[in-house]
Amino acid sequence: MPKREPSIFARLIVLVSTALTTGLVALGAAAWYYALEAANQAYDRLLVGAAYQIAEAVTVQDGALTVEPPASAFELLALSARDRIFYRVTDTHGETLTGDDGLDRDGAAAAGAGPTVRDATFKGVPVRLARLVRIVSDPAVGGRVEITVAQTTESRAVLARELTLRATILLAVMSVLALGGTVFAIRYALQPIGRLAAALAERDPNDVSPLTIETPRELKPFVSAINVFISRLKARMDLMQQFIADAAHQIRTPLTALNAQIELLSHRVDDPQGQHHLSRMQVRTAQLSRFVNQLLSHAMVRHRAGVIPPGRVDVVATVRRALHEAMPETLGRDVLTTLELPSEPVEIAGDAVNLKEAVKNIIDNALRHGAPSRLALRLRECGDVVEIEVEDDGPGIPKQTWPEVVRRFGSPSPTGSGLGFAIAAAVAAAHGGDLGFRERDTAGFAVVMRLARHPEEIR
């Protein structure tokens, strides 16, 4: 399974999501703490108020302490149906005057201090307990009277949960909105990368000028690195072009001189055996010269296909020039050559030099390996396709070898280089078409090169 490419966008979303989730958990915990504090403060005020009302009800009658807790002291606390309420009033000797005798027996309050509120446990359940001390100054029963009021904590917990839930929902909604805003912001921030990629994708293959596009400061090093690479690539291309030109000059010149020297030598050799060896040298030299020329021609075709932008090409004129340059091959024998071309120009988008070289190679193959007596060139228009057909009366090419002969050195003949059809196929492909064959019939064997009128649209 192929490894997935890392994504900056995905990484940022994961990091932001993690930060938002961590913040949501932390704020949720803080919301629970503050909600519980708020609930305690609200209910503690009721507890303290109830304790004060009970303290006001403590009186001295006939030298004894009495207390009648008012109903109003418990009305507000009783609004919470979930909770139970407990209270206890002790006299100046610490004995219970009224209420639950076991409530907060271990507690203590400082004299003169205000009410205290704390958590406790009574009858096995957690309670919130408020304790208040009242000083009785009557001579008969002077001293401290303690009032304790307690309430279970279920309502507080329910209120805290409701407040926390509402706060958490609000935080979650804000987090989702923040995440959505982050996604939009990241998409917007990454747009310059998309524009840079589009500029590179739409760039003409022949354009090796420095890339000029407005980008943020963070992308400047990336653009600079691309421009450095483009300059190095241009230097390499220039070097390769110079090498091809130098190689063509350095190889063709000695071969031409060698052919001339052999031609001069042939007139001075009278020995039959010497003439035989000399003729073999002439054949081999001619083969080598043709091979080198076709090899350089193939390199030129491939180079121009990636460098020269397409222009308007008159196929009719190009076919005529190709035939004219290939005609010297027919001077050694009687070959009837016919042309079937439209009277009007047929224009396509392409490279005239490469197209002429391809047609020339097809004609050359027909003259060297076929066409004992007849060669015909035809040009047809079939909608958006232009067909160039070269037909000869030779034996043709076996059908099973057709896929091989269009490849470089795919099926070379004893006297051929195996590059002629490869050159033609490469040119046809660069012009949005292909190179095909028609099986031999009564008319002969034909090579058909199909070209698109607008190959740049097909690519």
CA distance 424 to 321: 16
Q: Which contacts qualify for 188-197: CB closer than 8 Å, 24 or more apart?
A: 190/8, 190/9, 192/216, 192/219, 193/219, 196/222, 196/223
Instruction: Please report which confidence band the pLDDT of residue 456 belongs to, taking 50, 70 and 90 as the band edges.
Output: very low
* Phi, psi torsion values for 80, nearest 5 degrees: -85, 105
pLDDT higher than 80, residue 50: yes
Domain limits, the chain = 8-161, 204-303, 308-459
Q: Which of 382, 384, 375, 379 is nearest to 342 (CA)?
A: 379
From the candidate CATH numbers 3.30.450, 3.40.50, 1.10.287, 1.10.10, the one assigned to the domain spanning 8-161: 3.30.450
pLDDT higher than 70, residue 431: yes
As a whole number, mean pLDDT of residues 434-456 equals: 83
State the pLDDT at residue 99.
Answer: 84
Residue with tokens 């503050």: 34
From the candidate CATH numbers 3.30.160.20, 3.20.20.70, 3.40.640.10, 3.30.565.10, the one assigned to the domain spanning 308-459: 3.30.565.10
80-94, 176-190, 198-212, 262-276, range with the lowest pLDDT: 262-276
Q: Which residue has the higher pLDDT, 110 or 458?
A: 110
State the pLDDT at residue 389.
Answer: 92
pLDDT higher than 80, residue 63: no
* Contact between 387 and 428 (Cβ < 8 Å): no
92-101, 178-187, 265-274, range with the lowest pLDDT: 265-274
Q: Tens digit of pLDDT for each residue in 351-364?
A: 888 888 888 888 88
pLDDT higher than 60, residue 448: yes
State the pLDDT at residue 253.
Answer: 67
Considering the segment(s) 204-303 as one domain, its CATH architecture is: Orthogonal Bundle (1.10)
As a whole number, mean pLDDT of residues 338-362 equals: 87
What's the mean per-residue pLDDT of the chain?
79
